[in-house]
Structure 1
Amino acid sequence: MFYIQSERLKLIPLNLHHLSIYQQSDTLALELGLASVSIAMEPLFLNEFDDALQNFWIPSVEKNPQHYQWFTNWLMVLKEENVGIGGIGLTGLPNENQESEVGYGIGQQYRGKGYATEALVCISQWAFMHPKLHTIVAHTPVDLLHSQRVLQKAGFQSVRVENELLRWELKRNT
């Protein structure tokens, strides 16, 4: 099974089968060899996740099986406990502007420990291995300060407001 890792985390890109059983957390944990994949989040984030699962990840991975890592949720696994603690992912291969967008979420009990920043740095390093990727973009609500702090610690710069969201960018080191 393909994955990337940092000091404390393993990031596993979920394939189509994993996405199809994601909501059966015990089955997914068993298939991935994990102790647990039960991630507690606020209803707003759970709704966004469910929408992404049904309307982006599954159809995009079906259309792009050879590059599924660019279109899926990567499960954040805390190596020490062997549990899923959140997810992170990109919106696809670099577009015509040489950009891809990143999004992430982490279980409430694991926030404030640097895991989201660590996962963001890890996936950014992996993504920048693609020769056509120049910029990774993220968007946050103006009042979502903890997510903004994650982006700042990972080296992203706030560049402007778009549709009441802050646009953040991380450029490839050249």
Structure 2
Amino acid sequence: MFYIESTRLKLIPLTHQLLQQYHTSRPQMEAALGLNHSEIKIDPLYVTEIEDALVNFWLPKTLQFPESYQWFTSWEIVLKSDNISVGGMGFNGLPNENREAEIGYMIHENQQGKGYATEALQVMSQWALAHENVENVIVHTYSDNLPSRRILEKNGFTLIGDADRILTYKLCKS
């Protein structure tokens, strides 16, 4: 099984088969990964967003692009010490014509404030920027999402745009 890791975290991109298990039963998917069951608290807005991404993006795109599924799936953020999922993140597809890879992330409400998003974003950005077809990593966040903005700034992202309360941050390959 492919994964990347940092000091405290393991990031596992979900294959099409694992996404199908997730869609049927999240505990079944966690068991297939050998994870301990995690008590997840997610804002209802994000539950709807995750279900939409699962059905309309992750499942069809990982089926369509099995060789490059890592760019089209959710990555489980796993706390190695407890072997539980603490959140998820992923790319919005292959890098675009401007050689940008877009990342999104979410940490479960009961796991926030522990530095997991900062650490996961750092390792995911490094992974993306190691690809020759990626020059920049892009993240969009709401202007009032101060914790996310701090995470981006800690990781060296620069604010490059502000449109209708959505901020765009960029990290360039050095």
For normalisation by structure 1, the TM-score amounts to 0.96
Quick one: distance in 2 between partners of 1:26 and 1:124? Answer: 28
The answer for the alignment partner of 2:43 in structure 1 is 42
- The reply on whether 1:92 has 2:77 as its aligned counterpart is no
Quick one: distance in 2 between partners of 1:63 and 1:98? Answer: 21
Q: CA deviation at 1:164?
A: 2.8
The answer for the alignment partner of 2:127 in structure 1 is 126
The answer for the alignment partner of 2:61 in structure 1 is 60
Q: Is the 8 A contact 1:28 1:37 kept in 2?
A: no
Q: State the Cα deviation string for residues 10-38 of structure 1 (Å, max 9, x = none).
A: 00000001111114122111110011144
Q: State the Cα deviation string for residues 109-162 of structure 1 (Å, max 9, x = none).
A: 111110001000011111111101011111111111111111111111111113
Quick one: distance in 2 between partners of 1:84 and 1:13? Answer: 12
- The reply on whether 1:113 has 2:114 as its aligned counterpart is yes
The answer for the alignment partner of 2:76 in structure 1 is 75
Count of matched residue pairs? 173
Quick one: distance in 2 between partners of 1:39 and 1:76? Answer: 12
For normalisation by structure 2, the TM-score amounts to 0.96
Amino-acid identity (%)? 46
The answer for the alignment partner of 1:149 in structure 2 is 150
Stretches of 4+ aligned residues off by more than 3 angstroms: none
The 1:141–1:120 alpha-carbon spacing in structure 2 relative to 1, beyond 3 Å, is same
SS in 2 for 1:170: strand
Q: State the Cα deviation string for residues 90-121 of structure 1 (Å, max 9, x = none).
A: 11221111111100001111111100010000
**Which blocks of at least 5 consecutive residues in structure 1 are unaligned?**
none
Q: State the Cα deviation string for residues 64-110 of structure 1 (Å, max 9, x = none).
A: 10000111100000001000110010112211111111000011111
Amino acid at match of 1:15: T
Q: CA deviation at 1:45?
A: 1.2
